[in-house]
Amino acid sequence: MINSKDVIRLKMPFPNINSKLAVSSHMYVCYTHVTNNYGLVKCQTFKNMFYNLQHRIIESKDPTRNPFNHKTLIDCDKLFKLNKIVIPDSLLTTTRRNICNELFNKIDTELKMDGYETKVMDSVMVKSVNPRVNLVEDN
């Protein structure tokens, strides 16, 4: 089961199904998890200082803190919401399944500074680009 602080590899149909996030996997930190609803924060390899983000964390590769293979940018301007979906453990990162408490607390602080944008994702579209996730039906 995926929990807060876990890091998963997922394709995200954002801003649309043909976008860069939809065609290749990126890492996401699970910020919140309640039953089959998740709040995810996107991580990407850090390439330069010109990211147009107000709230971000730059984290170096460190297996004692995180599962990242490179210097990584954590985007704290957005929180991706996935509802009525099951993310299997097979999508967890392999070096390490989660981030340390200190890094999680930094993400929490950045998100809460002056808010973030919530992006509620269409579960069917998420499933269409991630065949291993499962949709949860309403009862």
For all residues of the chain together, what is the average pLDDT?
92
Q: pLDDT tens digits for 87-122?
A: 999 999 999 999 999 999 999 999 998 879 999 999
Within 13 A of 74's CA, how many CA atoms are on the CB side? Answer: 27
Does residue 1 lie in a domain region? Answer: no
Q: What is the pTM of this model?
A: 0.93
Does residue 40 lie in a domain region? Answer: yes
Does residue 117 lie in a domain region? Answer: yes
Spatial contact of 70 and 61, defined as CB atoms under 8 Å apart:
yes
Between CA 18 and CA 25, with CA 21 as vertex, the angle to 5 degrees is: 120
Spatial contact of 43 and 74, defined as CB atoms under 8 Å apart:
yes
Within 13 A of 12's CA, how many CA atoms are on the CB side? Answer: 22
Q: pLDDT tens digits for 75-96?
A: 999 999 999 999 999 999 999 9
Does residue 119 lie in a domain region? Answer: yes
The predicted pLDDT at position 40 comes to: 98
Domain region containing 24: 7-135
What mean pLDDT do residues 120-132 have? 95
Does residue 131 lie in a domain region? Answer: yes
Q: Which of 39-43, 45-49, 64-68, 112-116 has the lowest mean pLDDT?
A: 45-49
How many domains in the chain?
1
Does residue 74 lie in a domain region? Answer: yes
